[in-house]
Amino acid sequence: MRGASSDYVRVGSVEEAVQTLDQANGAGKILAGGQSLASVLALRKARPAVLVDVNRIPGLAMIRPGADASGSVEVGALVRHSMLVGQTDHPLLAEAARWIGHAAIRSRGTTGGSIAHADPTAELPVVALATGATVHVAGPRGVRTVAASKLFVDALTTSLADDEMVTAVRFPLPSRWGFAEFARRHGDFALVTAVVAEVGGAVRVALGGVAGVPVRAAAAERVIARGRTAREASQAAAEEIEPRTDLHGSAPFRRAISAELVRRALVQAGIA
Q: Angle, to 10 degrees, between the axis of helix 230-240 and the axis of helix 218-225? A: 160
Domains delineated in the chain? 7-53 (3.30.43.10), 63-172 (3.30.465.10), 176-269 (3.30.390.50)
Encode pLDDT of 69-112 as tens digits: 779 999 999 999 999 999 999 999 999 999 999 999 999 999 99
Q: Is the pLDDT of residue 162 over 60?
A: yes
Tell me the mean pLDDT in the region 226-255. 96
* Percent of the chain that is helix, strand, coil (3-state, to 5): 35, 25, 40
Encode pLDDT of 26-57 as tens digits: 999 999 999 988 888 887 878 999 999 999 99
Encode pLDDT of 5-17 as tens digits: 899 999 999 999 9
Encode pLDDT of 164-202 as tens digits: 999 999 999 999 999 999 999 988 999 999 999 999 999
* pLDDT (0 to 100) of residue 227: 96
- Nearest-angstrom CA–CA distance, 209 and 193: 6
Encode pLDDT of 102-132 as tens digits: 999 999 999 999 999 999 999 999 999 999 9
Check: pTM over 0.85? Answer yes or no: yes
* pLDDT (0 to 100) of residue 188: 92
Beta bridge partners of 188: none
- Nearest-angstrom CA–CA distance, 47 and 90: 37
